[in-house]
Structure 1
């Protein structure tokens, strides 16, 4: 059932902002012309507590789930798994979770597969493993099972490939007393490719030939990725940004090579609390690839930020929610941040605050003065 949003519905109307960005009306009812062609802006809804940002993102999810691939992530609450290895960070954990959410079959289209992202996360998971710690390696690999199941639901979810990876690692440790992260990554990747990837081996591995110092060689790129990830600092940031690119590349390929009309609309990435560091780690690589490389990834990013004046929004095009009902121009400049459309959620009116009370108190038991008082005390932000 659709949720009452008290004035925020305009963004979800059949001709509203979300429909014009993703090309579909709610519940996949019909197609809508793309307002921004093949280069949609990253849309950030801004406003303090109580403005309904989270409710808005959840309602987008509710209305479009099952009709276009989508994922919703709270950037403030990505919980680390127990006793994880050094290959887990909030960013790698978030990417794995997002891919699993994006993957399910939607109306008229097959599930989305994530071979490139899976391979990269397998490579970085291997860093820090030791001969004496095969149980941690087993747990790290098993946690990647749901992600690898997006590549092959039968082989990815099966446990036998984990045992084969561990056997390969044992042989690697026997040959080298203290193997480097890149060597461990290569041993792990080789086995996973053989056991899970099937015909997607070449395209998944080949994509990493674009990584720095790889020279077009996928295996070399994966080794370098693992080494950079282990190094930390700026190099880890580069590796993580490349993994974000792997996610968007896998999504892009889900929309190419299919017969016309099989997949409509665009995928939706919904990020709550995007003002947190994780939000920037996810969004900035997408913006940079669009600005610097001209990448057209077809991904619609809708984010929520409690910090209206966040430094990442300095070059954004700013507008207010009511102004986006029919069009929302976002002229591009040369800066990365010019690819952001910042939409301020305006306060509720006194009548909308009253309607919120009436919805939950249809019998009118609350004092008549309560709704006006709440509106006054919250500045129209009671949600």
Structure 2
């Protein structure tokens, strides 16, 4: 994938990133945006939107110009390192150590950034393990030596204190001695500190809760709080992150720093809505709310559009969070809202949400052409079908576009009609590495995307006992609509399991994973739903799992009774017909619609028709065009034949697996006008039998007028390539 795909305006010389950092990717100086009170910039968007890719672009393009540290909070490295010494490490302290090492390796203007304040705090934590013996304590302090440059004053002081005390401890190595060790470490440190060094630690650890301005007491309390665990440990960890930011500020505000350093440093936190990321962001946001400002530009990623629930205490007003979308013109004019009360203000006040951009149609076409490279371009009709299919399935998600483009580049279609969404998803992606450096085998693009979007991005709060079958649960839910429908499936699919996931919890986990909600589909993203639909059909030979799930739901809605109210389909009967259409074809559905044509209010009948026809067709030959054009003989009277044509024309329009043929608008208008004529004839007959004032006359006349209007409106929508029924997951389709 081209790393900067879709990010041109974010990464350019006048874009948000260059203005925040004060340097362009080429090294030119830029006027700083905001300050001294800086927001945490949260890049928000669901799976496949390129959040991590953008962070890597910032690291690679701006990293040579300003100090940049990168951390993927979803990786297990920090947790695994902490588990080796749980008394003197945590995943947060390990993360801070890794971040500090990156700043210590900075080789650009101004040179390495020393972190003596962080080093002192981590040394106090390392020396505070009450259960450790002398040698492990000294080793743990010595492990931190790499944080400081060689021959630095701070390294000599701290390591000297530890080594001098080691001789005293030599005969007592079997006794836990955290108390005397940390005391000796701190006594040795402060005995050798210069006035400047004491002032630096006083400004930091003198402010630690209960320290009363005494940095030695603050460091001792920090070590004790870390050992206590729980909220006390979180306070200590937050203070350590503050110490790191103070070290960075000191590197910029020193005489040498003012002369040699330009712009601002950056911290890039991928998957920052995970536990580790939240534990880093929360204290930083709270510090800035209290007025502890720093110059570190924090870019972090989150999957939810609101940035994550941790920002909004007790379900606070997510709508008030500052938001900005790229390509909307001027840069965001951010400032902290007035009136916040420290320690009680919600975290969202210090955040700027930046919504990850979707690719425009032109950007999608350019990427598809680039991926094809020097290969021969397909003819225009095939190329347009590929572009249309990629747009439908991707909704502009960059990962979707690139993966489908890689697969489509190798496809050869004998005729354009063969180029459907299912054909695209069956196309194979050449072997290679993905964005995270994982090896991707030569296999169908649908399988590759499922791994990248679902298997490797399970929700953090998904219970461990459900991780192995999370994908299977979502696969079955690809046929569900509202939560009642989904819960019916989940009861059957998980029957016999002691631990079951409800559809209500799954919906919540999906939202936390960054997938959009749609009021008409449980899986609220069209591309993801297509991936899961294909997988469900292939789960068992002959599409058995697909047919079983639809049969289960048919039985459920049959038991409720045809006239039972349904929030999406109006009636349970219509909901049952939807699943019958998807699994068993149109014959019985046509019979049902013909039977209710004169018994339902026509407005309701039309809405039921649209809901029924929003059904996937997979695994069988597609004869819908022939039916819609009346080329296939259907048994029954004129009304039934017209309804059969209408059903298939609507089905084509709503189940968009290929671009609409130019005949579809006419195929919609023709049967609707024919049915209108049927009603006009019924009205004429009722006039002869009842007189012009009869109730049947009025109902038939109103119905005839309604169908004429529907013929115009539905035909116009089809000409604009738009679905007939508005839906959250298909609103990107149309006008092309």
1:245 corresponds to which of 236, 242, 245:
242
Q: Which residue of 2 aligns with 1:360?
A: 371
How far has the Cα of 1:296 moved from its partner?
2.4
TM-score, normalising length: structure 2: 0.47
Q: Which residue of 2 aligns with 1:341?
A: 352
Distance in 2 between residues matched to 1:233 and 1:354, nearest whole Å: 52
Larger helix percent = 2
Q: Which residue of 1 aligns with 2:725?
A: none
SS of the residue 2:26 aligns to = helix
1:321 corresponds to which of 318, 326, 334:
326
SS of the residue 1:254 aligns to = helix
1:34 corresponds to which of 18, 21, 32:
32
How far has the Cα of 1:160 moved from its partner?
8.2
Distance in 2 between residues matched to 1:322 and 1:237, nearest whole Å: 39
SS of the residue 1:322 aligns to = coil
Unaligned runs of 5+ in 2: 312-317, 400-736
SS of the residue 2:105 aligns to = coil
Q: Does 1:143 align with 2:147?
A: no
1:379 corresponds to which of 395, 403, 423:
395
SS of the residue 1:27 aligns to = coil
Distance in 2 between residues matched to 1:168 and 1:252, nearest whole Å: 38
Q: Does 1:332 align with 2:336?
A: yes
How far has the Cα of 1:172 moved from its partner?
7.8
Compared with structure 1, are the counterparts of its residues 154 and 357 closer, same or farther at alpha carbon in structure 2 (3 Å cutoff)? farther
Distance in 1 between residues matched to 2:377 and 2:23, nearest whole Å: 40
Q: Tell me if structure 2 keeps the 8 A contact 1:114–1:151.
A: no
Q: Tell me if structure 2 keeps the 8 A contact 1:172–1:187.
A: no
CA deviations 1:140-167 (Å, max 9, x no partner) are 33431221347839957x9988654543
SS of the residue 2:124 aligns to = helix
Q: Which residue of 2 aligns with 1:91?
A: 92
How far has the Cα of 1:351 moved from its partner?
2.9
CA deviations 1:279-333 (Å, max 9, x no partner) are 12112222212211x222111111111122312443521121223x531112312
Q: How does 1:1-383 map to 2 (within 5 A)?
A: 4-29=3-28, 31-79=29-77, 80-81=80-81, 83-128=84-129, 130=131, 133-134=133-134, 136-149=136-149, 152=152, 163-164=163-164, 166-167=166-167, 169-170=169-170, 178-179=176-177, 181-190=178-187, 201-206=197-202, 207-258=204-255, 260-292=258-290, 294-309=291-306, 310-313=308-311, 314=318, 315-323=320-328, 326-333=330-337, 334=340, 335=345, 336-364=347-375, 368=383, 369-383=385-399
SS of the residue 1:48 aligns to = coil
How far has the Cα of 1:236 moved from its partner?
0.8
Q: Tell me if structure 2 keeps the 8 A contact 1:269–1:299.
A: yes
Task: Report 1 or 2 for greater relative contact order, CA contacts < 8 Å, sequence distance ≥ 6.
Answer: 1
How far has the Cα of 1:246 moved from its partner?
0.2
How far has the Cα of 1:57 moved from its partner?
0.6
Distance in 1 between residues matched to 2:366 and 2:169, nearest whole Å: 62
How far has the Cα of 1:254 moved from its partner?
0.8
Compared with structure 1, are the counterparts of its residues 241 and 151 closer, same or farther at alpha carbon in structure 2 (3 Å cutoff)? farther
SS of the residue 1:43 aligns to = strand
Distance in 1 between residues matched to 2:248 and 2:51, nearest whole Å: 25
Q: Tell me if structure 2 keeps the 8 A contact 1:375–1:382.
A: no
Distance in 2 between residues matched to 1:148 and 1:37, nearest whole Å: 29
CA deviations 1:149-199 (Å, max 9, x no partner) are 47839957x99886545435557879xx654x554323334456789x878
Compared with structure 1, are the counterparts of its residues 211 and 173 closer, same or farther at alpha carbon in structure 2 (3 Å cutoff)? farther
How far has the Cα of 1:200 moved from its partner?
6.2
Aligned length: 374
Moved more, 146-155 or 49-58: 146-155
Unaligned runs of 5+ in 1: none
Q: Tell me if structure 2 keeps the 8 A contact 1:185–1:222.
A: no
Distance in 2 between residues matched to 1:40 and 1:34, nearest whole Å: 11
How far has the Cα of 1:138 moved from its partner?
5.0
How far has the Cα of 1:118 moved from its partner?
0.3
Q: Tell me if structure 1 keeps the 8 A contact 2:41–2:300.
A: yes
Distance in 2 between residues matched to 1:37 and 1:20, nearest whole Å: 11
Compared with structure 1, are the counterparts of its residues 331 and 373 closer, same or farther at alpha carbon in structure 2 (3 Å cutoff)? same
How far has the Cα of 1:347 moved from its partner?
1.6
How far has the Cα of 1:69 moved from its partner?
1.2
